[in-house]
Amino acid sequence: MKKLTRIGLALLGAIGLAAVAPSGASAQEKFPNEPVIIQVPFAPGGGADRTFRLFAPYLSAELGVPVKVTNVAGGGGWVSWSQVTNEWGPDDDHKLAVVNIPHIFSMLNPNMGRKETLESFNFLAWHSYDPGLWLIRWDDDRFETFEDVLKYAEKTPLVVSVGSHGGDDHVGMGFAMKAVPALKNSKLLFSDTGDNGKIQQILGKTSDMVAGNVGYYINSVMERKLRPVAVLHDEPWILLPSVPTFQEVTGQPNITYAGRTLATANGLAEEKRAIYLAAIKRAMANPEYQQKERDNRNFLMFREGEEMWALLRAGQKVAEDAAYWETSQ
């Protein structure tokens, strides 16, 4: 995870494209030949929605057809992902799905009774990476550093705003509650309205700390509304280099993040899959798009093939070790 290499700028050759069609050939010989949708598994306005609305016009330029973002919210993402794994088939060849890591690992929760595995998804590429960040109110005079937070938590259960059940916020807190005695009795506040609800909780003094991600919360830091106290990465993060890692303070590794991937229907023809993958790679290499995501404080991280699968399996191991479903109070 330390070596996050830059996205290569070299363009791929045409992958799986047929020979140039003769004059008058039907549009059906081209792919894609109608608008493509990107299905986001959460309501509009969140980090994933914002990212893929930025991305859509650049992918559209590469595919040569309109690309539209749709939102299918509910079930912590599983209303959408159930469609992707159980309903989408080869005929759904003009659909792409956003699959969030570690959110899909809520399928590990025995109480959910889900049968899906990582292999249930036809992953195309890893798109972006946003490490976990813990913050307190800027004007909270009870503590200023993470060490102060831990000392407070030794005497009084810490109240922490997290997102949905099984999200990266929940996973990170689940691990921390097992690994650090001072945090064992922390109380978790879940938010039905995502980060907006979490910000209302922390600024409204309903919670002592909020668990989020660097990209979404850095503006609150710059506005001096929230103070970052720990980043959940294996080394200080490039956007907040002075913020200590969880491990630096506690001695325990806690690497959690919001990872965004793109998948397509199971059974999709390999030549179509290759066209999507090549277009995604080219669109992510577009300098204008890269600049927009830098302005958005979103870290692009293209991975495909075995590199992508290594990240997916590592993410599942973190969720298994955290056993976050045991800390759902």
Phi-psi label, residue 71: left if phi above 0, alpha if psi -120 to 50, beta otherwise: beta
Are 94 and 105 members of one domain?
A: yes
**Element holding 257 (H helix, E strand):** strand 257-264
Least trusted range by pLDDT, from 89-103, 275-289, 313-327: 313-327
Identify the band that residue 165 occupies on the pLDDT scale cut at 50, 70 and 90.
Answer: confident
- The yes-or-no verdict on residue 25 having pLDDT over 60 is no
Alpha-carbon span 24 to 120, nearest angstrom: 40
223/315: higher pLDDT: 223
Taking the C-alpha atoms of residue 79 and residue 248, their distance in angstroms, rounded to an integer, is 38
* Longest pairwise C-alpha distance within the chain: 78
**What is the arithmetic mean of pLDDT over 112-121?**
92
Please, are residues 63 and 41 in contact by the beta-carbon 8 Å criterion?
no
Query: Which pLDDT value is given to residue 76?
Result: 82
pLDDT of residue 48 exceeding 50, the answer is: yes
Residues 6 or more apart whose CB falls under 8 angstroms from that of 126 comprise 259, 260, 261, 301, 302, 303, 304, 307, 308, 311, 312
- pLDDT for 4 equals 43
Specify the DSSP class assigned to residue 17. P
Domain count, the chain: 2
Q: At residue 307, does pLDDT exceed 80?
A: yes
What pLDDT shows up at residue 23? 42
Domain CATH number, residue 52:
3.40.190.150
Task: Give me the amino acid identity at 5.
Answer: T
Predicted local confidence at residue 9, as pLDDT: 33
Total-model pTM: 0.78
**Residue 301 scores a pLDDT above 80:** yes
Per-residue pLDDT, 24: 42
Q: How far apart are CA 255 and CA 311, in angstroms?
A: 12
Regarding whether 185 and 277 lie in a shared domain, the answer is no
Distance CA 245, CA 52 (A): 28
* Mean pLDDT, residues 66-81: 93
- Residue pLDDT, tens place only, 206-246: 999 999 999 889 989 999 999 999 999 989 999 999 999 99
d(CA 11, CA 140) in angstroms, rounded, equals: 50
Q: Which of 161-170, 266-275, 280-289 has the least mean pLDDT?
A: 161-170
Report yes or no on 11 lying in a domain: no
What does the DSSP 8-state code read for residue 245?
A: B
Helix residue spans in 46-145 (DSSP H): 47-63, 78-86
Categorize the per-residue pLDDT at 1 as very low, low, confident or very high, splitting at 50, 70 and 90.
very low
**pLDDT, mean of residues 299-325:** 89
Mark whether 158 and 217 lie in a shared domain. yes
Give the span between the Cα atoms of 174 and 232, in whole angstroms: 13
**Helix (H) or strand (E) run with residue 69 in it:** strand 67-71
| Same domain, yes or no: 121 and 49 | yes
323 within domain boundaries: no
H/E stretch holding 307: helix 305-322
Instruction: Write down the number of H helices and E strands in the chain.
Output: 10, 10
Give Cα 249 distance to the centre of its chain.
Answer: 25
**Residue 8 located in a structural domain:** no
Give yes or no: residues 269 and 234 share one domain: no
- Do 141 and 240 sit in the same domain of this protein? yes
Element (H, E) at 286: none
* Lowest-confidence segment of 15-24, 61-70, 101-110, 180-189 by average pLDDT: 15-24
Using the predicted structure, report yes or no on whether residue 257 has a pLDDT greater than 70: yes
Task: Indicate left, alpha or beta for 312 from its phi (over 0: left) and psi (-120 to 50: alpha).
Answer: alpha
**135 close to 228: Cβ distance less than 8 angstroms:** yes
Quote the pLDDT of residue 20: 39
pLDDT of residue 327: 66
Query: Cα separation of 184 and 154, whole Å?
Result: 9
Residue 124 and residue 140 in one domain: no
- Say if residues 274 and 16 touch (Cβ distance below 8 Å): yes
Q: Is the pLDDT of residue 182 over 80?
A: yes
Rounded average pLDDT over 59-88:
95
Strands 159-161 and 187-189: parallel
> Are 122 and 262 within one domain?
yes
Last residue within a domain, chosen from 233, 250, 267: 250
Q: What angle do CA 41, 67, 106 make, to 5 degrees?
A: 15
Domain range spanning residue 227? 131-250
Question: What pLDDT is stored for residue 258 in this prediction?
Answer: 87
User: Both 156 and 262 in a single domain?
Assistant: no
Q: Name the band, by pLDDT with cuts 50, 70 and 90, for residue 15.
A: very low
The residue with greater pLDDT, 11 or 130, is 130
**What is the pLDDT at residue 328?**
53
The CATH number of whichever domain residue 188 belongs to comes to: 3.40.190.10
